[in-house]
Amino acid sequence: MGIDAAGDIPFHRPFIGKEEEEAVLRVLRSGWLTTGQEALAFEGEFADFLQSPREPLFCLAVNSATSGLHLALEASGAGPGDTVLVPSLTFTSTAEVARYLGAEVVFVDVAPGSFLMDPAALERTLDRLSRGLPAYGGLGSNGLKSGTRGGFGPKGKPKAVLPVHYGGLPCDMNAIMDIARRYGVKVIEDAAHAFPSRTESGEFAGTLGDAGVFSFYATKTITSGEGGMVATRDRELAARISIMRSHGIDRAVWNRYTESKASWYYEVVEPGFKYNLPDILAALGRVQLQRAWQFLEERQHIAARYNAAFAGDERFTLPPSGVGNAWHLYPLVANPPLSRNTVIEGLQNRGIGVSVHFIPLHIMPYYRKRQGLDPEDFPESLQRFAGVISLPIWPGMGESRIDRVIAAVKEVSQE
């Protein structure tokens, strides 16, 4: 958002050093621009970063997390007649990939006071779907629509659940995996915000489900401009994703040109997609990966400064404290009567960039109309949306910008 001109503080600014410039130049001068050795090396280094003593982790570089989510869901077999469960408080990517495949999206509310999918609501919804009932209705926060009897919303075989590690805060993966296994659904972690996030047991978010998908979009915790990575321990899933990310061709494109016995021969085994990550971007991602821990330390420091500044102030609710949070976002909630929009307007007038994560998907025209939804059907998502302000949190911000954001938030909240 914007450039850092005239003392403005952008919502985000990527940290790009000399090493990133040199890495991109190296690829530009190499004679090979698209997917090749850099992407392969990036996959290996990313897997090493996340490696645990458990089974090997396959990492597949793609051109966005959206592509990665699409590929992982496709490889899980989702299609027409199936349902895919996603939190209502997320970006459109998490849900749209189900629609690409002809499956129906089923929303699950976030837990009371939380930004994360409610395992209890997930279980209630899976119970309804597996009994052939429409997704919403009955008791509980998920899909409670006043005056509705007998349920409403999509029906269909539940195929997959996509928990979102919102802002870098890991979901309760033990609970989600347990529920998903009992109902026989795949778990694809939307880890777009969650690099590197760790659960209480120290395991990396994105490595705990059947697949996890990371984003390297320009504002993310590490960036390649655009890009993503799918991580999975499932060999078959990895093989399918590898083929489908390059047109459904049975071998990686770069091999065709760089193998010692270069071959013109290939076979199309499926109508796949064009989702490969070019080497120019992979080279950038490799350098950023080396900075991941340093970036995290800086974001932790900024979050700690904000927490200390706003703690005990009844106008605000702090983000849930989270060991293992990657702190992609710092979501401060404005408590009534303080108006979220007033705070945002005040900050913008002072040259401070902010954002809102997220406008819940169930109030978006497409899903609202398609599923006959009311805003109150997912009251927790609606409540988080009503108050949330994402403050700037990026490596290189420096103490004086942090001070200015804190002072400005306090000032505009008195207006």
Ligand X SMILES: Cc1ncc(COP(=O)(O)O)c(C=O)c1O
Q: Return the number of the residue (193 or 401) whose C-beta is nearest ligand X.
A: 193
The two tokens of residue 400 are 């004086």
Annotated catalytic, 159? no
Tally: H helices and E strands in the chain: 14, 10
In the complex, the smallest distance separating the C-beta of residue 205 from ligand X, rounded to whole angstroms, is 12
- The residue length of the chain stands at 415
In the complex, the smallest distance separating the C-beta of residue 269 from ligand X, rounded to whole angstroms, is 26
Tell me which of 164, 243, 277, 282 binds ligand X, using CB under 6 A.
164
Per CB under 6 A, does 228 bind ligand X?
Answer: yes
Q: Return the number of the residue (137 or 392) whose C-beta is nearest ligand X.
A: 392
In the complex, the smallest distance separating the C-beta of residue 226 from ligand X, rounded to whole angstroms, is 7
In the complex, the smallest distance separating the C-beta of residue 389 from ligand X, rounded to whole angstroms, is 16
Per CB under 6 A, does 192 bind ligand X?
Answer: yes
User: Is-contact 161 122, C-beta < 8 A?
Assistant: yes
Residue type, 285: G
Cα dihedral across residues 193, 233, 236, 40: positive or negative: positive
Q: Return the number of the residue (136 or 166) whose C-beta is nearest ligand X.
A: 166
Per CB under 6 A, does 171 bind ligand X?
Answer: no
Cα dihedral across residues 399, 401, 407, 409: positive or negative: negative
User: Is-contact 158 185, C-beta < 8 A?
Assistant: yes
Q: Return the number of the residue (286 or 404) whose C-beta is nearest ligand X.
A: 286
3-state class (DSSP) for residue 30? coil
On the 0-12 / 13-18 / 19+ scale of CB atoms within 10 A, 263 is exposed
Tell me which of 42, 91, 310, 327 binds ligand X, using CB under 6 A.
91
Tell me which of 24, 27, 39, 65 binds ligand X, using CB under 6 A.
65
Per CB under 6 A, does 190 bind ligand X?
Answer: yes
Per CB under 6 A, does 221 bind ligand X?
Answer: no
Tell me which of 76, 83, 93, 142 binds ligand X, using CB under 6 A.
93
Q: Return the number of the residue (63 or 83) whose C-beta is nearest ligand X.
A: 63
Distance CA 117, CA 188 (A): 13
Residue written as tokens 């570089």? Answer: 61
In the complex, the smallest distance separating the C-beta of residue 92 from ligand X, rounded to whole angstroms, is 8
**Strand blocks (E) in 29-103:** 58-62, 82-87
Residue 38 DSSP code: H
* Residues designated catalytic: 220
List interacting residues with ligand X (CB under 6 A). Answer: 64-66, 90-91, 93-94, 164, 190, 192-193, 215, 217, 228
